[in-house]
Structure formats: C-alpha cells, structure tokens
Structure 1
Amino acid sequence: MGQDGVLLRIVTKGAKYARNHNLHGETWTENCLVRTCFNGTVTTTTPNNISIPVCANGMPAVQVPNTCYQYACPCECMGWGDPHYVTFDGKYYAFQGNCTYVLVQEIIKKYNFSVHIKNYYCDMTHGLACPESLTIYYKSHTIYLKQTRNPTVNTVIVNGKEKTPTISTADFTITSTGIQVTVDIPKINAQITFAGMNFVVNLPYSLFYNNTEGQCGVCDNVTDNDCRLPNGQVQNCVNTAEAWKVISTKTKSTTTTTTKYCPCDKKIHTPTGFAAAIVFKDCHEYYPPENFYEACKYDVCNMKNATGCFSLESYATLCAKMSVCVDWRNSTNGLCVQKYTMACGPKVEETCNSKYNEKFVSCESGVCQVVKEGCFCPNGTTLFNTDTDICTPFCGKYKTCGRPGDKWQMNCQNCECRTESMGPVCEPVTCSTPEPCNRAGYEITTVDCCAQCGK
C-alpha cells in the first residue's frame, strides 16, 4: 500500500490505528484537530494560525458553521423604545418615523428574505415614534408579528391566518415566551425576535456579507457605511432611515411632525439608570452598555414615562444571548416590573403533550437551546398546551391530542386537535343572545355553557 493509502487509513481509523501501527512522525487532521504520531503516542494540537476578527459591533466573533477554524462577526441589528436603532455593525442612532420601513433586505436576491417594521407616533407632543409591528418575508411566506401590552397579547399571522406558537414548518419555527416571539429560519441561520417595543434581527455573516441594505445597514463589519440611501450614497443616519419608507399603493401618509428634544442632565440618575449601572455589571465585559444607557436617558427625559425600561429590556435580551442572566426588573423601584416568572427561562416551555416536548423542548438545535425572559408556569406545574394559560400539576386531568381533527368541549371552550401546534387549539363557545325569559315557570339556565330560557 502506498503512502496515500496509509494516510487514508489513518484518517479513517484515527488515533487507535496510529498507536497500533506505530507510525512515527505521521501527521494528519481529524475532527478539526492536528494529530501527530510519535513513538506510538498520538498527540493532539490545534492550528496556530487561527484568525479571529475583532467585531465592529462589539459582539464576540462566532465560528462559521461547517468549518473548523473560520470565525466571523455576527450581524445583529436591534431597535427599542421610541425608537432607537443599532445597525448590524454597531452604529447607534435614533429615528422618529411614522410609517412602514425596510429594516433589512437583500441587495442581490438569494433567499427572498426581508424584514419590515411599522412605527406609530406614541407621543404626538414630542413627535416620538414607537414600533407597532414587524413583518418578515421569506420565500413565499409572510409572517406578521404584533404585541399589545397591559395585558401582553402577541398576535402572530402567517400567510394571512392567525396562529398560536409554537409552530414548526419545513421553512421556519415560531416560538413564544409570552414576552417575546422568536422566528427561526434554519436554512439561512436567521433569527428574528419581537417583543412589541423591542426587536432583534440576527443574520449570519457567512451568508449575508455585503448583501444587506435598509435601516439595519450593511452586514460587512464596517460601521462607516451603515447609513446608506437606496442608491448607495452614505449620509446622516436619520436621513437615510427615512429613505427606506415602504410606500403603500393603498394609502400614503402625509402626516409630518417636528421632534422636540429636551436637554438632559448628563448626570441624570433614574431607577432604570441605576439598574443599568449596577445589575448589569456582569454583562459589561461581553457587550458595552453605553448605547442602551444613553437611549434610556433619552426616553426618560423626553417621554417622562416607563419607556426607559425598553432600553434595559433590550440589553437584558442581548446579555441572555451571551449566557449572562440578569434579573433586573426588581431593581427599578417598581417602574419596570411586570407579571413574569423567569428572567432567563426556556425558549420553548414544556407542555402536557409528550410528543410536543420531544420535538421542541428536547431538541438539540439552536432553536431550543437558549434562554429567554418570559411568562412560565410555577415550579411543580406544567403548561397544558401552547394555546392556553392553564398550568396544572396533573397533566392527565386534561385531554391531549389524539388524531388531527378530533374535537371536544372543555371549560366552556370548543377544542380541536391540530397538526401545526401538535396539540389542541381552543376557542370560547359561541352563544346566541337568549330570548326574554318572562314566561311563568321559566328562568335563565346554563346549557352547554350558554344561557337559555327554560324550566
């Protein structure tokens, strides 16, 4: 057997083969490691020429999928509050537009992917805008996300039909923690998170390098060119952000307003500012907090309400992504407290449906193995299914799905077993208005959850 054949067998059988055959001085690569056989002993080393780039956005470089030692900077665009933006390459700006805008789209269409954001004036007095909804376009799909607060209600509409997460298709997965809704697109390794006043768009550098445009800028690890017009000209970020307005053929907004800025004391101390400075200290080494702190002061100064909380919420989301869990809300003197159970809970919560758990909760993909802030069932109880808020210590008490299409009634709700959610979807029983009950011997009674006039 020639030398090439010997090396092939070495690579195939690895260290065990090398030790058994005492191949002195032979070197090969196996599982991304350099292995050398000397005197019957295999030593393992890593290449000494690994290049890890410094990321302009302050994020740590990540390994390119399906490679050994190639690293690239993640392209992460985020926005929050009234609203504040950080581009893919880390450039911060504030923009008060009252329309639908292109956050990101491909310059050369490869995946038919784009994200639009719709803003509205949440403070007409000062001309300040806030995010209202997010729309994701991928292939032939349209995914619409909206959140209202007090109470928090997430609306998810896929291709014109309202859905309840968790949803899994061949092209995407949608999950929710009650506070955040996340859309994962595995084929292009994209992730979009929306929490009403906050959004994050994550794209892989390896697939989208120098091929993005919009309010999120260019994914190329260069900050200076992030604010560009559709014609490619670089200008002031506020000017270029307005240029990415989506013009509807149905209605055109002609409303204009002037943003009024009030001077802020640079030494301003607020409950939210205190939380940013103290509670988040463990996260500072992973991502600098300055943009979020400045945005927080801006909101507290101009809007005089709790919108500063959204700066901290965005920073906490970023910290959780880097495995730094920050339970920050109780440090804001009640200003940012809302009803939630965990600062860093599971992205996909376990339910009474074992098949659902096997597919979503126990999966090893990036879709499942992260933590999120959200509303979760207390310890000792389990969520009945993703369509209800029922937490039960006895899953067997409730009917779980049998065959798709099965229907039943429970707690005055009509339920149906649906494939898309791998569990029952329930809606309140619809009742007609009862006739006047003024006949002798008759009274209003409840039959099948509906009020009726009867004996």
Structure 2
Amino acid sequence: MQELFPKREQFPTKPTYGEEEEEIFETHRTKKIKHLQDYKLPQKPINETNYEIGPTYSYKKFQNQVIDLIPKPGSCFSWAGSHFKTFDGKVYSFDSKCSHIFLKDAIDNTFSIIIQNHPECYKGPDSKGCYKFIKIYYQDKEFYLKRSDEGHPIFASPKKTLPIPGQLPGIRVTMAANYIVLSLDTVGVTLKWDGQQLVHAEVKESMWNRTEGLCGKMDGDNVNDLETKEGRLAKSVITMASSWKVDDLDEPCNDSPVEEHTCNVNDFTGELGRAATKFCAKILADPRFAACSEVVDITSLLESCRWDFCNCPNQKDPSICTCETLEVYVRDCTHKGVQGLSQWRDDKTCPMKCTGGKVYMHCGPKKGQEMCGAASVLPEVGNTCIEGCYCPEGTVLYENKCISRSQCPCKLRGKSYPPGHSIPKDCNTCTCNNGEWKCTQVSCGARCAAVGDPHYITFDGKRFDFMGQCSYYLVKTDNFSIEAENVACAGAISEAMNFPVSVSS
C-alpha cells in the first residue's frame, strides 16, 4: 500500500537554521515558519485500494510551512449537531446536550454567542425537528435565534418576538435564501443560521487575536485551537469542550461531551466503516471541488463526513447525511476566494428540497428575497452568489411561504391584520394594502391646554410643567397670538394660570 503520511522520525526534532533561514525570520516578523524535511508528494490523494485519503493543501505546504500572522477576516462553522471548524482551520467533533460558548470577544467581552442542540435532536424517530438553539449576548442584552412550534425561524428577546427583517441599535437581522443573517456591525461579526444545525460565523480582521470559545483563537495558527476557558492547551477535544460548557442557573446540565461515534476512525474492517470511507473519500476528491483542494485540506473534513454517514438514520441512503459537510466545504472555499462553485449541487449530489412554493436557485437575486412589508437585502457584495430556496418572481415570502404581495397582512403593535382591514388614526383612516398601512391625509383639528399650577399639553399631546413669572405665548401665528402669565393666587404660595393679557389678532 502506498504510504501517504511520512513517519514521525523523518522530521528533525530540532531543525538547524542557516543564514538564509535567520534572514527569513528577521524580515518576516508577521509570519511563523516551520522548517520540515522535503519529501515526495503522492501522485494521487486517494489510495484506490482501501479508499484512504491523503492530505492535499497541507501536503503541498508541508515543507517550510508558513503560518501567516497578518490579520485577516475569518470564518468558523458548526454543523450536523456535532462538528466544528475553527477560524484557523482545525476540524473536530463531539456530541453534547449542553450549551457551549461558540464564539466570544476575549478582550472586551462585547458579545458572546452560545449554541445548544435542541432536545428534539435526541428523541429519535419521534423528533419534530432537530436544530441549533442560539443565544446572543450583546451590549448587555440577550437575544435568541430559535424555531417556533410550526418550524418558522424566530428572532426574539426574553420579553418579545422581534421582526425578521429587523434592526436594533448595533444589530441587524435579515434573511438570505435559507439563512437568517444576524449582523453585529460595531464589532464586525456576522452570524448565519440555516434554521437547522448549520451555524456560520464570519468576523472581520478587527477580531484578530480577540476570539475564544469553540471557534478558537483567530491568530493564523491552529495549534492553540483546543485552548480551554482557563487558557490551557487541552490534550483532548472532550476536555476543551467541557471547559466551554455553560450551565443554566435554573437547570444545570450534567451531560458530558462524547467523541465516539458509530463509525470509529480506526475501524476500516466493518462494512459500514468501509462504505463510509469509500464514499467520503470519493466525494471530497470529486473534480468539481478541485479548486477547493488548493485552499482547504480535504482530510480535515473526511472524519466529519464519515461520522455523518455512519450515524445517518436513513441507512438505505446514508450519503444524504453528509451534505452539510459538503456545504461547509464549499462555503469555506468560497469564503477563501474560490469561485465557480455555485452549481456544485445536482440531482445526485445533495439536491436541495424546497417547500412553501419556493424554488431552488444556485445564485439568488442580487436584491435579495422580497418579503411582506420589506426586502431582505443580501449581505454579500460583488459577484458572490448565495444558493438556496427563493420565492418565484412576482411572489414574496411570508411565514416561510410564497404568496402574492396583495395577500400580505399588516402589523401594528405586535398584532397582524388581514388585507383590506381598516383602523382609525385621529381623524384619518388607515387601510392594509400590500402589507403596508395606507392612510388618508385629512388635516385634523387639535387642542392645546394650560391647566393649574402650571401644566401644559401641546397640540400633539406632549405634557410638561414649568414655573415662570413672565408672560408667555401659548399660540403665535402670522395672524393671531395668545399670551398667558402666571400670577400668584391670594393667600397661596403657589401660582395659578391667569389670562390678564388679551388675545391679539
């Protein structure tokens, strides 16, 4: 069998540096360089005898491997309930019923993002739908991303449900195809959630060396990506994951993370294990992903793919459970600048099934998905496409279904009103039309009042109080004016309103 990985003793334990290497270290202070021995690359990344897969990207960079320390944007993933890919590219897996810190500002603590597998994920065939529950702490406020009982995505605070799309100080929520996109603009963090188990965090270079949690420290070196909450480098994924566990004060979680799975990494002899290795090795090395292998190490996702294949509830076609790993592969490549991957799906490879009258588009409309009462603008710019399920032209999205705009309801103070419904507003009438309130523009009369000791009410209903002993205009126009003066009441220390000054015109 062709040897894919060099033996450990082939690498020098203490590399010696000549003048050239010393000069490199001196001139490239923003790079860390690992000096390793040269060796021949395998002609093929896949051993066709047992379908083991060799590294691609990391293999090509093994000699004098350069770890770029120049700050740059980063991308972190969690998918399929168990898998994680850090900002610096480390992939690991564990299963847990508890909440864990996914991403956090390690320096100023401006935000933290906590994720948890919903209890429905562990109910087996009786499950109503497995998804990631997401909690966001930002500017001392708490928000949630979750699903309703009907399966609709919800953005909420502890007190009320907030609209999607919607905007609050420093935070925006919109939709892009199948994804809820939450942007924390002031800190440069964007969170994308597919309403199920895929969570994708993108951060700007301003977060370089400032992140911690399951996404790791974004510093260009994945060696420290298994750091615990206490800042120590863990020897196992379980130790690291346990340190980032978050307990609810009311209901502490006693579950322990689990790293084992049905398709054990060392078990190539079993029928299921061999089938998983064969399928995952071939699909990850598919020619359509050739450009990806230049920027992402295929081997980093092989074990995640095998895990999903072996744990798939649908054993008639377990390959369907590997689609999230492939999607992460494509999204990570796209984030790193690889183009031409928008049509990676086909009828045989992870076809996307759309519901609610939506249709699949490998490249969504540039103006975003039109929705009742608003348009959800895509966060990406340039030539980047977002694949997914969109409403056909001429229809808009409402509660995850496509309807004509004339069917859109209107909302007021948290209540929904059907098309054609009318409500009074002062002397005008507002009618629900195409998801928006259309109001008549009749000029209404108004009343201003000055009462007692001394209280004022403006024409628009504003109330205020102030003490003064001068004469004041209550109303003044080009044609007339009304003045008033506060005078002391006989035998009282307070002052009452009097009108000693005449009305002039």
Q: Report the TM-score, using the length of structure 1 for normalisation.
A: 0.62
Q: Distance in 1 between matches of 2:166 and 2:33?
A: 33
CA distance in 1, matches of 2:144, 2:133: 7
Q: CA deviation at 1:176?
A: 1.6
Counterparts of 1:272 and 1:328, CA distance in 2: 17
1:290 aligns with 2:299: yes
1:330 partner letter: D
In structure 1, the partner of 2:249 is 249
1:326 aligns with one of 326, 342, 353: 342
| Largest Rg, 1 or 2 | 2
TM-superposed CA distance for 1:152, in Å, is: 5.7
Q: CA separation in 1, counterparts of 2:334 and 2:161?
A: 29
Contact 1:55 1:221 in 2 (8 A): no
CA distance in 2, matches of 1:148, 1:276: 39
Read off the aligned partner of 2:135 and give its amino acid letter.
Answer: T
Matches within 5 A, 1:337-348: 337-339=353-355, 340-346=359-365
Instruction: Determine which of 266, 284, 302 is the counterpart of 2:311.
Output: 302
1:165-204 aligned within 5 A: 165-177=164-176, 179-195=178-194, 196-204=196-204
Shift of 1:300: 0.3
Overall identity of the aligned pairs, in %: 22
- Between Structure 1 and Structure 2, how many residues are aligned? 344
In structure 2, the gaps of 5 or more residues are: 1-26, 35-56, 59-68, 125-129, 268-272, 315-319, 424-429, 438-505
Query: 1:117 corresponds to which letter in structure 2?
Result: I
8 A contact 2:191–2:199 mirrored in 1: yes
RMSD: 4.5
Q: State the 1:201 CA deviation.
A: 1.2
Q: State the shift of 1:381 in Å.
A: 1.9
Change (3 A) 1:333 1:72: closer
CA distance in 2, matches of 1:298, 1:347: 36
Q: Partners in 1 of 2:331 and 2:148 — Cα distance?
A: 19
2:242, 2:275 → 1: CA distance?
28
Give the stretch that moved more between structures: 208-217 or 114-123: 114-123
Change (3 A) 1:356 1:190: same
Instruction: Output the amino acid matched with 1:381.
Output: G
Q: Are the counterparts in 2 of residues 79 and 86 from structure 1 also a CA contact under 8 Å? A: yes
Give the 3-state SS of the residue equivalent to 1:160 in structure 2.
coil
C-alpha distance in structure 2 between counterparts of 1:214 and 1:312, whole Å: 24
Deviations 1:78-126 (A, max 9, x none): 111131111121111111121001112222225x21110112574689x
- 2:469 is aligned to none
Mapping of 1:392-403 within 5 angstroms?
392=404, 397=406
Alpha-carbon shift at residue 71 of structure 1 (Å): 5.9
Partners of 1:409 and 1:124 lie apart in 2 by 38
Aligned residue in 2 for 1:115: 113
Q: 1:237 is matched with which residue?
A: 237
Q: CA–CA distance in 2 between the matches of 1:283 and 1:268?
A: 20
- Render the CA deviation track for 1:243-296: whole Å, top value 9, x for unaligned: 111011101223458644433228734499537624433444344443334311
Distance 1:257 1:91 in 2: 18
Judged with a 3 Å threshold, the aligned counterparts in structure 2 of structure 1 residues 374 and 284 are, in CA distance, closer, same or farther, namely: same
Q: Give the distance between the partners of 1:73 and 1:269, measured in 2 at CA.
A: 36
Provide the C-alpha distance between the structure 2 equivalents of 1:250 and 1:77, rounded to a whole number of angstroms: 30
- 2:325 corresponds, among 291, 300, 311, to 311
2:186 maps to a residue whose letter is K
Q: Tell me, yes or no, if structure 1 residue 371 matches structure 2 residue 371.
A: no
**Structure 2 counterparts to residues 218-233 of structure 1, below 5 A:** 218-233=217-232
Change (3 A) 1:366 1:404: farther
The answer to whether the Cα contact below 8 Å between 1:272 and 1:312 also exists between their aligned partners in 2 is no
Among 383, 393, 401, the residue aligned to 1:389: 401
CA positional deviation for 1:405: 9.5
What amino acid is aligned across from residue 232 of structure 1 in structure 2? G
Residue matched to 2:289: 280
SS at match of 2:97: coil
- Is the 1:180–1:193 Cα contact (8 Å) retained in structure 2? yes
SS of equivalent to 1:72: coil
The equivalent residue for 2:145 is 145
* CA distance, structure 2, for counterparts of residue 319 and residue 412 of structure 1: 49
- Distance in 1 separating the partners of 2:279 and 2:215: 29
Q: Is the 8 A contact 1:229 1:240 kept in 2?
A: yes
Q: Secondary structure of the residue that 1:116 maps to in structure 2?
A: strand
Q: Note if contact 1:348-1:368 (Cα within 8 Å) is conserved in structure 2.
A: no
Q: Using the TM superposition, give the Cα deviation of residue 366 of structure 1 relative to its aligned residue in structure 2, in angstroms.
A: 5.0
After alignment, is 325-334 or 288-297 more displaced? 325-334
2:81 aligns with 82
- Asked if 2 retains the 8 angstrom alpha-carbon contact of 1:345 and 1:376, the reply is yes
Once the two structures are superposed, residues 380-433 of structure 1 have per-residue CA deviations (whole angstroms, 9 ceiling, x without a partner) of 4242x55563344xx5x457879999975239999xxx9xxx9559xxxxxxxx
Conserved? CA contact 1:192–1:199, under 8 Å: yes
Retained in 1: the 8 A contact 2:118–2:133? no
Displacement after TM superposition at 1:220 (Å): 1.4
Partners in 1 of 2:418 and 2:123 — Cα distance? 46
**Structure 1 stretches lacking a partner, 5+ long:** 1-48, 60-69, 426-455
